[in-house]
Amino acid sequence: MNHNRQIYRDRRAALLIQMRAQSGGGLAIVPTAPEVARNRDSLFPYRHDSYFYYVSGFPEPEAVVALVAGPDGDRHILFCREKNEEREIWDGFRYGPDAAREIFGFDETHPIAELERMLPELAADQPALYTPLGLFPAWDRKVTDLLNEVRNRIRTGVAAPEEIVDVRQPLDALRLVKDAHELTLMRRAAQISSGAHRRAMDRTRPGWHEYRVEAELAHEFLRSGAQAVAYSSIVAGGPNACVLHYRDNNRELQNGELLLVDAGCEYQSYASDITRTFPVNGKFTGPQKAVYELVLLAQLACIDAVKPGADFHDYHRVAERVLAQGFIDLGLCKGNLDEVLESGSYKQYYMHRAGHWLGMDVHDAGLYQIKGASQKLVPGMVLTVEPGAYIRPADNVPEEFWDIGVRIEDDVAVTATGCENLTAATPKSVAEVEAACRR
């Protein structure tokens, strides 16, 4: 018995309400992700599509949700693989349509092999078709074939949907605001990742390779019940911290360097995304500490700017201002604050945004801007707060700052009064970080 099935039913109902409001009804078809070959007959570990999972909670490949907002009411339909003793011996358990109907709360379930036969009937006379467009090429072809098949039947008196809508548009808006169930899972994902960062701080030693730290993170994720990393862990020692999407993770860590770790687990389909930067030998040098404290000042100011009613873009502006002033104070930027902001010279050291939506996907669904205006924050939105400073060797940079790269990233949920820091258990002040790096 899946006690959460009402949650997924409610989400489908919310989509159906939206379809009626926007198009006077219609058919939504939402496929899960295909399995992807890694090489020869080996597959990448399977990860369902997040939109599909959001409306089903169903974990298997080869499945499609079909939702009908029709004149006779709503229908919640799931197509999935049939039970198959032989395949289950090799590849593991399958729910099969009968069990899936009960457990996942659908009105009807059918074998996936029935999809092509049934879809033209479901789509006939519907005013609108809601489905992802341009997400999976094989699915796009299926949708085109479906529409052609319905059009071929026009002489029999049926009409094909006139309006085609990317179903991700209404689903993005729903996914942007997390419900209590989602927040519970995200707190757990954050807690596990926080433990992994503490473990990395505790264990790392000069002479370790970055991949050994990556292994410590993975160990903590998996032993705590996370299913996977939410994205490839970035374990970036010394100059590698200034490579924003560094992934090689194969440098030997040197005494006196900083290590930037950007790593988060996926727990029951929800991502966490934490960055901490700490000294390999457990003690910040003067210049490292100066840059670290500046990024921390910016990060704390950004968190203060996350509250209901604020613009999404507000906290990025806070990051720019605090960092630009700090770069001036450290002698890294010339001019006054207005000049540095106006010219953008601070972008030599801070060139990314201050954060992004977080949820099932690490860069989660949801618009940042609507018709040119920033999205307003409301309770239930979850976002990362991740300013940084990346100082590459250059003629205009004092040598003591060369190769210092610092990012500090937390995951915060907007609440009625401000925000809840889901990753607050991760050491962050200089004193906390040095204490966590027992050497």
Indicate which residues carry an active-site annotation: 41, 245, 262, 273, 352, 356, 363, 386, 390, 407, 409
For the record, the structure tokens of 86 come out as 């032989």
> 64-70 and 37-39 as β-strands: parallel, antiparallel, unpaired?
unpaired
**Residue 422 beta carbon to Mn ion: minimum distance, rounded to whole angstroms:** 13
- β-partners of residue 28 are 67, 130
Write out the binding residues for Mn ion, residues 393-432 only, by CB under 5 A.
Answer: 409
**The residue type at 239:** P
Q: Which does 220 bind (CB under 5 to 8 A by kind): ligand GLY, Mn ion, none?
A: none
> CA-CA distance, 43 to 36, in Å (whole number)?
6
Contacts of 319 (CB under 8 A, 6+ apart): 298, 299, 301, 302, 350, 354, 387
For the record, the structure tokens of 133 come out as 């467009």
**By CB under 6 A, is residue 210 in contact with ligand GLY?**
no
> CA-CA distance, 343 to 352, in Å (whole number)?
16
Write out the binding residues for ligand GLY, residues 2-21 only, by CB under 6 A.
Answer: none
**By CB under 6 A, is residue 229 in contact with ligand GLY?**
no
Q: Which does 11 bind (CB under 5 to 8 A by kind): Mn ion, ligand GLY, none?
A: none
Closer to ligand GLY at the Cβ: 216 or 262?
Answer: 262
**By CB under 5 A, is residue 262 in contact with Mn ion?**
yes
- Count other C-beta atoms under 10 Å from residue 94's C-beta: 19
Taking CB under 6 A as the criterion, the residue among 273, 320, 364, 411 binding ligand GLY is 273
Site string for ligand GLY, 372-401 (x = CB under 6 A): --------------x---------------
Closer to Mn ion at the Cβ: 142 or 407?
Answer: 407
Q: Which does 257 bind (CB under 5 to 8 A by kind): Mn ion, ligand GLY, none?
A: none
Helix 210-223 and helix 180-203, axial crossing angle in degrees, nearest 10: 140
- β-partners of residue 110 are 79
Closer to ligand GLY at the Cβ: 80 or 303?
Answer: 303
- β-partners of residue 60 are none
Closer to ligand GLY at the Cβ: 57 or 388?
Answer: 388
Q: Which does 349 bind (CB under 5 to 8 A by kind): Mn ion, ligand GLY, none?
A: none
The residue of the chain with the least Cβ separation from ligand GLY equals 262
Q: Which of 137, 194, 128 is nearest to 167 (CA)?
A: 128
How many chain residues touch ligand GLY (CB under 6 A)? 7
Taking CB under 6 A as the criterion, the residue among 242, 322, 362, 381 binding ligand GLY is 362
Write out the binding residues for ligand GLY, residues 293-352 only, by CB under 6 A.
Answer: none
> 42-43 and 64-70 as β-strands: parallel, antiparallel, unpaired?
unpaired
**By CB under 6 A, is residue 29 in contact with ligand GLY?**
no
**By CB under 6 A, is residue 271 in contact with ligand GLY?**
no
Burial of 374 (0-12, 13-18, 19+ CB in 10 A): middle
Q: Which does 204 bind (CB under 5 to 8 A by kind): ligand GLY, Mn ion, none?
A: none
Residue with tokens 């433990």: 195
**Residue 176 beta carbon to ligand GLY: minimum distance, rounded to whole angstroms:** 17
Taking CB under 6 A as the criterion, the residue among 8, 231, 246, 292 binding ligand GLY is 231
Site string for Mn ion, 368-397 (x = CB under 5 A): ----------------x-------------
Taking CB under 5 A as the criterion, the residue among 210, 257, 266, 273 binding Mn ion is 273
CA dihedral 271, 318, 405, 325 (to 10 degrees): -170
> CA-CA distance, 104 to 297, in Å (whole number)?
46
> CA-CA distance, 297 to 239, in Å (whole number)?
23
3-state DSSP helix/strand/coil percent for the chain, to nearest 5?
40, 20, 40
**The residue type at 257:** E
For the record, the structure tokens of 206 come out as 């000069």
Taking CB under 6 A as the criterion, the residue among 74, 182, 216, 262 binding ligand GLY is 262
Closer to ligand GLY at the Cβ: 271 or 305?
Answer: 271
Taking a C-beta distance cutoff of 8 angstroms, is the pair 419, 433 a contact? no
**Residue 53 beta carbon to Mn ion: minimum distance, rounded to whole angstroms:** 21
| Residues contributing to the site for ligand GLY (CB under 6 A) | 231, 262, 273, 356, 362, 386, 409
Q: Which residues bind Mn ion (CB under 5 A)?
A: 262, 273, 275, 384, 409
